[in-house]
């Protein structure tokens, strides 16, 4: 199995999740400007969508989209999803919220938009993070046990720090807590992040 990633990109969530699940995998960095992998392969031959993450499974099939990859990882290690008959449904609910309502709201920061667009985006991100802060069920989104959705939220919080967006206080504490997890430290070290 191989994860295609870019340092500090959303693929960091998948990278952490693979470590947390204890899965054996390789990683290959992708240059998002040239669309070449570290090994010189045209990344569009791996993921025609041209973006990370992509996860090539041992079967040869390649998965894309954070929601699908994180959900797949949670199916390999059930402790990474909330328990109970509605566990996976609530996991997808959280992943979809983070992907479509938070991740996508960072676009103006990556697209080099003007200050007013960035300010509006920052305000929206803060509001949506506020919803998650208000519904935290313990140390993590679903209680005392970490889930793959926490890894995705963690990456969004790293981006918030990078772009000067102030998250609500409980999520600042959450970000610091996540930094202490060995899986987070291992993935960040590999990606050259401090």
Ligand X SMILES: N[C@@H](CCC(=O)N[C@@H](CS)C(=O)NCC(=O)O)C(=O)O
Q: Hey, what are 112's tokens?
A: 């080099």
Comparing every residue's Cβ against ligand X, the nearest one is 51
DSSP state of 77: S
**Please, which of residues 38-97 interact with ligand X by CB under 6 A?**
50-53, 65-66
Stretch that binds ligand X, among 5-13, 55-63, 88-96, 185-193 (CB under 6 A): 5-13
Give dist(CA 81, CA 156) in Å, integer. Answer: 19
**Please, which of residues 147-176 interact with ligand X by CB under 6 A?**
none
- When binding is defined by CB under 6 A, the residue of 1, 32, 36, 92 that contacts ligand X is 32
Q: Hey, what are 52's tokens?
A: 């990370």
Identify which of residues 50 and 170 has a Cβ nearer to ligand X in the complex: 50
Stretch that binds ligand X, among 6-14, 130-138, 141-149, 160-168 (CB under 6 A): 6-14
What are the residues whose beta carbons fall under 8 Å from the beta carbon of 1, sequence distance 6 or more? 18, 23, 24, 25, 26, 55, 56, 57, 58
User: 4 to each of 28, 39, 52, 77, how far by Cα in Å?
Assistant: 5, 11, 6, 20
Q: Count residues binding ligand X (CB under 6 A).
A: 11
Stretch that binds ligand X, among 4-12, 36-44, 112-120, 123-131 (CB under 6 A): 4-12
CB of 172 to ligand X, least distance (A): 22
Which residues, in sequence order, are bridge partners of residue 64? Answer: 54
The yes or no reply on residue 10 touching ligand X (CB under 6 A) is yes
Starting at the edge strand found earlier in the chain, the sheet holding 36-37 runs 36-37, 26-31, 2-5, 54-56, 62-64
The yes or no reply on residue 36 touching ligand X (CB under 6 A) is no
Identify which of residues 20 and 71 has a Cβ nearer to ligand X in the complex: 71
Binding residues for ligand X, rule: CB under 6 A, are 6, 9-10, 32, 50-53, 65-66, 99
């Amino acid at each position: 199995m191989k994860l295609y990633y870019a340092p500090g990109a959303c693929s960091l969530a998948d990278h952490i999740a693979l470590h947390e699940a204890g899965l054996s995998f390789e990683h290959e960095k992708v240059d998002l400007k040239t669309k070449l992998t570290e090994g010189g392969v045209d990344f569009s031959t791996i993921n025609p969508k041209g973006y990370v993450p992509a996860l090539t499974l041992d079967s040869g099939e390649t998965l894309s989209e954070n929601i699908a990859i994180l959900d797949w990882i949670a199916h390999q290690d059930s402790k990474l999803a909330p328990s109970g008959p509605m566990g996976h449904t609530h996991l997808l609910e959280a992943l979809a919220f983070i992907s479509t309502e938070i991740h996508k709201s960072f676009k103006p920061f990556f697209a080099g938009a003007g200050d007013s667009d960035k300010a509006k985006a920052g305000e929206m991100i803060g509001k949506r993070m506020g919803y998650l802060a208000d519904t935290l069920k313990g140390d993590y989104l679903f209680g005392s046990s970490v889930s793959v959705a926490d890894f995705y939220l963690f990456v969004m919080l790293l981006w918030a720090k990078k772009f000067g967006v102030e998250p609500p206080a409980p999520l600042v504490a959450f970000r610091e807590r996540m930094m202490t997890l060995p899986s987070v430290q291992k993935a960040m070290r590999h990606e050259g992040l401090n």
